[in-house]
Amino acid sequence: MDGPEFPYSVGPEDNPINFHMNASDQMSIYKDNEKYQKAPPILPVEVQHMNELLGNTFVSLVEIRNMLSKAKANENISSIVINQINDKIDKINDLILDIPEDLSKISI
């Protein structure tokens, strides 16, 4: 019954289970396994709230940018000034997008 035509057949085990494990042996095995099973980092509550505030700030700046693009249609408003403000908003938003990565280094 062994062979490729019977893929679910089993045979004798070449490496028997080691029944001589004491607590220190088990701890060393669990420590080795722990290297590959790390939980994701947990952020402190304050840092999670900071991420939310940064997201709200980003959205608010995008809304301001949209308002400025509508105001640009007005002939009395200088498009050069609006472009300068939009450039500043873009720089701020780029910085806001970088901050959560830095905050993740604070994780517990």
pLDDT in tens, 68-98: 999 888 888 888 999 999 999 999 999 999 9
24 lies in a domain? Answer: no
Judge whether 86 and 65 are in contact, CB under 8 Å: yes
- Residue 103 CA to residue 4 CA, distance in Å, equals 54
Judge whether 58 and 93 are in contact, CB under 8 Å: yes
79 lies in a domain? Answer: yes
R_g (Cα) of the chain, nearest Å: 30
Write down the pTM of the prediction. 0.55
63 lies in a domain? Answer: yes
Residue 56 domain boundaries: 45-106
Catalogue the long-range contacts made by 1-10 (C-beta closer than 8 Å, 24 or more residues apart).
none
- How many domains are there within the chain? 1
28 lies in a domain? Answer: no
80 lies in a domain? Answer: yes
pLDDT tens column, 38-73: 666 666 777 778 888 999 999 999 999 999 999 888
